[in-house]
Amino acid sequence: MKFLVYIETDSGDVVASSWEALGAALSLGDDVEAVVIGDKISVVVEETVKRGAQKVYVIEDETRALFDLERHLADVKNVLDMSGADAFLASHTGNGRDLAAALGADKGAGVIADALELSVDGDKLKGVRGIYSGNILVDVTVDGAPQIATLRPRAFAAAEDAGASADVVLVDPAAADSPYEVLGVERAETGEVSLTEASIIVSGGRGVAKDPELGFDLIRELAGLLGAAVGASRAAVDAGFISYEHQVGQTGKVVRPDLYIAAGISGAVQHLAGMGASKVIVAINKDPEAPIFSVANYGVAGDLFQVIPALSEAVRAKLGK
């Protein structure tokens, strides 16, 4: 099976989970090509070559600096024709999700969306994915060509720099009129770690209520020391303690870090739907009966206003930070 992997860029930077899609393809076959679309992407192209794609198709154009469904889709269709790939893989980011769905719709092909595992079965891809918010797992196959799958961020090992070489093919941008006009771009503060890409997350919940500002300051301090992202439960978001983009759970983000520290979070099923796949879960809660302890590996039954600063202190002492 020949793969084409979509390497997502944003204003010239790679979206890191793209390397996981490349890693998945390389683990399934030795006929792996990649497509990089964006502007000022020479560094990303070089990285894609080094990480083992055999051929890298490059569409570099000012109009591609930001993801544009119409333009990027037209480019991908062009490259699929040139490559003749049997399978198309992308990371299940918001843009990857949209691109794969549009490609499937246009080609009359199904999509294995948000796959947790992927294998090749004859001339078909076979994925494992969660339905009912991860409460049921299923094997999924799809009809149509190409075989299309999007991969859950952090569920697959990233392709590493192997010092490999590859053909680089420069492709003209497809002539596609976009209906979208971007009027403004606002970005998160630099240094803020993305929840879906984070290997460590420190989250706060209702337990910060007696002083929400201080509570999240303490959580941010610990997150800063650990290079972690800051998360929150729905209760904390709905109470206005922190903004929605930090929400983890059913109506927020689904995450799978190596370490998830839940501070003052009771552990409602809707929260577990968002973080239940974390490798190690730490619960810090005043109530030793809180349901979060039933999914946690480690716990401290205590007040987060005391335990979190103590953790920061211990991290400074033991990690020399």
Interface positions, 98-137, toward other proteins (CB under 8 A): 98, 100-102, 104-106, 108-114, 129-137
Q: Which long-range contacts (CB under 8 A, 24 or more apart) does 316-321 make?
A: 316/225, 319/225, 321/225
By the rule CB under 8 A, 182 interacts with other proteins: yes
Residues belonging to the chain: 321
Complex with other proteins: residue 33 or 293, whichever CB lies closer: 293
Encoded one letter per residue, x for contact with other proteins by CB under 8 A and - for no contact, window 140-179 reads xxxxx----------------------------------x
Half-sphere exposure of 149 (CA within 13 A, CB side): 31
By the rule CB under 8 A, 221 interacts with other proteins: no
Residue 224, classed as helix, strand or coil, is helix
By the rule CB under 8 A, 258 interacts with other proteins: yes
Encoded one letter per residue, x for contact with other proteins by CB under 8 A and - for no contact, window 7-26 reads ---x----x-----------
Half-sphere exposure of 197 (CA within 13 A, CB side): 15
Q: Are 150 and 112 in contact (CB under 8 A)?
A: yes
Q: How many other CB atoms sit within 10 Å of the CB of residue 282?
A: 19
Complex with other proteins: residue 166 or 237, whichever CB lies closer: 237
Where in 273-302 is the site for other proteins (CB under 8 A)?
Answer: 273, 276, 279-283, 288, 293-302
Q: How far is the CB of 34 from other proteins (least distance, A)?
A: 20
Q: Are 180 and 132 in contact (CB under 8 A)?
A: no
Buried b vs exposed e over 115-134: b needs ≥16 C-beta within 10 Å? Answer: bbebeeeeeebbbebbeeeb
Complex with other proteins: residue 42 or 135, whichever CB lies closer: 135
**Pairwise CA distance, residues 36 & 56, whole Å:** 7
Where in 61-90 is the site for other proteins (CB under 8 A)?
Answer: 66-67, 69-70
Using the rule CB under 8 A, give the single segment among 40-48, 52-60, 191-199, 202-210 that binds other proteins: 191-199
Among all chains, which residue has been given the structure tokens 């891809």? 125
Complex with other proteins: residue 26 or 140, whichever CB lies closer: 140
Complex with other proteins: residue 50 or 97, whichever CB lies closer: 97
Number of residues located near other proteins, criterion CB under 8 A: 96
Q: Are 308 and 222 in contact (CB under 8 A)?
A: yes
Complex with other proteins: residue 173 or 299, whichever CB lies closer: 299
Q: How far is the CB of 14 from other proteins (least distance, A)?
A: 12
